[in-house]
């Protein structure tokens, strides 16, 4: 979002807050439930960070394997 040259630029976190507020307002106006809004926001964040989805999936798999090992349902690999 560009601002007139005579106004100081807003800090990035302020811009993020404004954009999130606009997105939330649009979702409310169109009767979108909060879970759908949160899923959409999370998905957009993950997509904006290349490799994050793969990293999170790998960490989840590692945690699941650790829990299976701790429960004695799988030998050490």
Distance CA 54, CA 61 (A): 11
The length of the chain is 77
Q: Is residue 73 predicted with pLDDT exceeding 90? A: no
Q: Give the per-residue SS3 of the chain.
A: CCCCCCCCCCCHHHHHHHHHHHHHHHHHHCCCCHHHHHHHHHHHHHHHCCCHHHHHHHHHHHHHHHHHHHCCCCCCC
Place 75 in a pLDDT band, splitting at 50, 70 and 90: low
Question: Which residues, 6 or more positions from 14, have their beta carbon under 8 angstroms from its beta carbon?
Answer: none
Q: Mean pLDDT for the chain?
A: 90
Task: Provide the whole-model pTM.
Answer: 0.66
């Amino acid at each position: 979002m560009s601002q007139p040259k005579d106004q100081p630029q807003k800090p990035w976190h302020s811009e993020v807050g404004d954009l999130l507020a606009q997105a939330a307002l649009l979702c409310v106006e169109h009767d979108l439930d909060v879970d759908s809004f949160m899923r959409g926001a999370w998905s957009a964040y993950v997509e904006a960070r290349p490799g994050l989805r793969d990293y999170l999936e790998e960490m989840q798999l590692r945690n699941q394997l650790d829990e299976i090992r701790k429960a004695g349902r799988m030998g050490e690999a």
